[in-house]
Amino acid sequence: MNIYKLLLGVLITVFLVVAAPYGAVNLGLMAPMAEKAWLVLLVTAGGLIIKSLVGDVVAGEFLFYKFGYDNCVMTLGALLTALALQLVATVDLFPGLSNVAILSSLPAFSTDPVANRSTHLFTLLIFALLGTLLTGRIAAAIKHDNAKGKDFLSLLNSLVGLVLLGMYVLVLVTKG
């Protein structure tokens, strides 16, 4: 096992999940988070770290291409859950998403804010599905030794997974 790869993966996760949202707030890219958002972020980071540690023990090593794919799968599941909750709700469960600079530019599909939020979550779910398919295909090619440029593809998988994980964190911290 290469402990340094695992440590780097854990540090990237902690930065993205805990520090990046506060950085986005300080840069004005999103509205201030709720008072207890730090707790949600710490619990999420803890769970993701445990997932990385378990994955490292099971695989025998930390694999960056698998790290990216796993982040995509987790984001897909989280967004599917968020969408399911929003579909049965009578209010917008994620009102803070409207205050995130990147997501606030999503077009309105309806005059009903609840229907709009469902459509926005569905759009994010489609991005997560596409990312999962892409990183899954790349991971399979790397695993079966069918890929050229494995280091670049591993980096690509990690970056796609981290972008999608960032989407998941935004949904978490904007929960109403």
Domain housing 88: 3-173
Q: What is the pLDDT of residue 169?
A: 85
Nearest to 162 by CA among 44, 29, 12, 8: 12
| pLDDT of 176 higher than 70 | no
pLDDT tens digit sequence for 6-52: 888 889 989 988 898 889 889 888 888 878 888 888 998 898 888 88
Supply the pTM of this predicted model: 0.84
**Number of domain units in the chain:** 1
CA distance 127 to 167: 10
DSSP string, 61-103: S--HHHHHHHHHHHHHHHHHHHHHHHHH-SS-S-GGGGGBHHH
* 70 or 52, greater pLDDT: 70
pLDDT tens digit sequence for 74-125: 999 999 999 999 999 999 998 888 877 777 777 778 889 899 999 989 999 9
